[in-house]
Structure 1
Amino acid sequence: MCQGITDEQGRLLTSWLGAFNVVWDYSWPLQDTTVLHIVAPPGEEFIVKASTTSHHIRREIAAHTAGFEGLAGRVSVLRHASAEAGILVTEFLPGTLVEGTPAEDDPETYRQAGAFLKKIHRPAGTSAHYAKALAAKTLQWMDRAPGLVPERQIDSLARELAALEPGVVQLVTSHGDYQPRNWLQENGHIKVIDFGRADARPWVHDLVRLSHQQFVGRPELEAAFYDGLGKMVGPEETDLWRLENLNQAVGTVVWANQAGDTAFEQAGRAMVDRLFSGT
């Protein structure tokens, strides 16, 4: 059996698909997740994701089980899954990753991505506890940030965190990692992959990474995205938006440092700097 696939997972794969061949290995060592592009008789292509430790498998299974109404052909189809064994199989979704291609600089990509996100975001109720829990988690990140983030920044951001009062939060079915590395394009159409971080969160959560990456210095991309989404972050989301930014910025620095991902750690520091400078 393939490296990274347990005996139990291997038995399940064989029972589901029969004999198969690995086309490519896209595994994520930092997250202890095996990701394989495989071909099984009579020539069908699939993506297999497996892990015995990562909670992302269960989240992705839940997201696919809930369904993606109106997005047929633009989101992969779940064919087999076992949350207990930590494995899922989806149909292979053809396309080219947007990240690193000319499509990443095309406003039309972002207009479509915004419209796509609008369809992904389905109402998931309200929560009086979400913001409090996120603030507590952010404070935990800050407690582990000394030596990684300048002390003056930590103190300033901690004071700001304590002053935020987002209140009751409207939740949606968020993607969790919505950015060009999880977008495909085929014949001018955008598709979306990897729902391993999907969960019920406020809609602004899915905009944080883009605002610190592709939107920086590119107002035309930001405008196109919000045009497709049909709304922008407004005054009523000010505290929640800031809280989501604080959490993802400091959390990125600490997590990436622990995982040994230097590039991601630097990206987190840039997020913190941007928040601290107010730009």
Structure 2
Amino acid sequence: MRDVLQRRIGDCTVEADRSWSHGGATVLLVRDARGARWVGKQHRDRDRYRAERDAYRRWVPALGDRAPRLRFADDATGTLVLSAVPGAPDWSRGLTPAVQRRAGAALRRLHEAAEPEPWPEFAAVRLAEFDRWAPAAGELLPGPELAAVRKAVLGLADLPVPHRVPCHGDHTPRNWLLAPADGTGDERFAVLDFEWSGRDVWVADLTRLAVGPWRDDPELAAAFLAGYGRAIGALDRAMLLRCAAARAVFLAVWGHRHGEVALERSARDQFARLAGELPAD
């Protein structure tokens, strides 16, 4: 990746390695000869690279200064060079009403970056995703509960056809940058890491929060939804519960494969709770 950075922005100095431990991408904070900071991100998975590249080109500009901007994308090496945004993720600070409100407002901007599309294939897509991960999940999660979740996912076909919008795919505090704002006393807020982005139902971006921190503190959910400007209706909740259960299956498998012990444990716990809350018929 350093060769790519050299070609694109000239001489630069690496200031920090911000790569995640799962090894999905190499992420370097660099400073160019003029003193400007950039982030170089080289993906190992081509699908994740294309998803993030396309998000930065099509949807992320709608966030303005609440997200990095794309300087260039190098398809040959799967490398993105992004503007460096001040701040750092902070899970505990992310779980405050003030930050949740900002996160909701930012997500609404992203979801409105393109016109909503009717999605008649929604139920079939979710079922195919579940069936793709179910064999591996069978080694980690109880069979009867997996069968119950699959039945619930099948039930998505009984709901009205939803619309899909541009979604982040992992809108949680680990992907929010927080920094003090100059002279205002407020915190700056920005979103990063769009490699799981794509068009989906709007509640798909709420699943990890809804089955995690919001359960213990409803005030966080209220603040987030106030920032977003929309309540969760009955049909939304039915979709959210089913999507969250299917998502927990994926996260348990993904965490296990990539050595993300805390993620796998959290996904297992969420799966156990959700499997007991799904409708019986």
TM-score, structure 1 normalization:
0.89
CA distance in 1, matches of 2:152, 2:44: 38
Mapped partners of 2:136, 2:44: distance in 1: 26
> Following TM superposition, by how much is the alpha carbon of 1:13 offset from its aligned partner in structure 2, in angstroms?
1.9
* Match status 1:48 vs 2:40: yes
**Paired residues of 2:153 and 2:246 also in contact (CA < 8 A):** no
Partner of 2:105: 115
Distance 1:229 1:88, change over 3 A: same
For the residue of structure 2 that corresponds to 1:72, the secondary structure is helix
User: In structure 2, do the counterparts of structure 1 residues 82 and 130 end up closer, same or farther at CA, with 3 Å as the change threshold?
Assistant: farther
Q: Runs of at least 4 residues of structure 1 off by over 6 A?
A: none
The residue number in structure 1 matching 2:257 is 258
**SS of 2:63 mapped into structure 1:** coil
Shift of 1:69: 4.9
Q: What's the CA shift string for 1:81-139, capped at 9, x where partnerless?
A: 12332011001000132324xx2342111111111111110234222223311112112
Name the CA distance, whole Å, in 1 between partners of 2:201 and 2:141. Answer: 27
Q: Does 1:201 align with 2:194?
A: no
Q: Distance in 2 between the 1:53 and 1:175 partners?
A: 17
Residues 1-279 of structure 1 aligned to structure 2 (within 5 Å): 5=1, 10-69=2-61, 71-100=63-92, 103-122=93-112, 123-165=115-157, 166-186=159-179, 187=181, 188-278=187-277
Q: 1:55 deviation in Å? A: 2.0
Q: Provide the C-alpha distance between the structure 1 equivalents of 2:168 and 2:142, rounded to a whole number of angstroms.
A: 31
1 CA distance for matches of 2:66 and 2:154? Answer: 41
Letter in 1 for 2:276: S
Query: Which amino acid in structure 2 is aligned with residue 25 of structure 1?
Result: D
Question: Structure 2: which amino acid aligns with 1:109?
Answer: V
Distance 1:139 1:26, change over 3 A: same
CA contact (8 A) 1:138 1:246 kept: no
Go from structure 1 to structure 2 and tell me whether the alpha carbon gap of 1:163 and 1:208 turns closer, same or farther (over 3 Å shift). Answer: same
Q: Give aligned pairs, total.
A: 269
Q: Which string of whole-angstrom CA distances, capped at 9 and with x for unpartnered residues, describes residues 34-85 of structure 1?
A: 1111111111101100124342221111111114455322211111112332
Between stretches 249-258 and 48-57, larger displacement belongs to 48-57
SS at 2:126's partner residue? helix
- Structure 1: runs of 5 or more not aligned: none
Q: Following the alignment from structure 2 to structure 1, what is the Cα–Cα distance between the partners of residues 262 and 144?
A: 23
Instruction: After superposition, give the CA deviation of every residue in 1:157-194 in whole Å (9 maximum; x if it has no partner).
Output: 23323333245331111111101111112222321111
Check whether the contact 1:61–1:83 (CA below 8 A) recurs between aligned residues.
no
Residue segments in structure 2 that go unaligned for 5+ positions in a row:
182-186
Percent pairwise identity: 28
| 2:184 alignment partner in structure 1 | none
Return closer, same or farther for 1:144/1:67 CA change in 2, 3 Å cut-off.
Answer: closer
Q: Could you tell me whether the CA contact under 8 Å between 1:32 and 1:54 is conserved in 2? A: no
| Cα distance in structure 2, aligned partners of 1:113 and 1:200 | 19
Q: CA deviation at 1:239?
A: 4.1
Q: Over aligned residues, Cα RMSD in angstroms?
A: 2.0
Amino acid corresponding to residue 162 of structure 2 in structure 1: V
Q: State how far apart, in whole Å, the 2-side matches of 1:95 and 1:182 are.
A: 11
Deviates more, 1:185-194 or 1:265-274: 185-194
TM-score w.r.t. the length of structure 2 is 0.88
The 1-side partners of 2:225 and 2:46 are apart by 32
CA distance in 2, matches of 1:126, 1:62: 21
Aligned equivalents of 2:189 and 2:18: distance in 1? 21
For each residue in 1:5-37, what CA deviation from the matched residue of structure 2 results, as whole angstroms up to 9, or x when unmatched?
Answer: 3xxxx4432121111111111123524311111
Q: Counterpart of 2:216 in 1: which secondary structure?
A: coil
Give the whole-Å Cα distance in 2 for the aligned partners of 1:132 and 1:270: 26
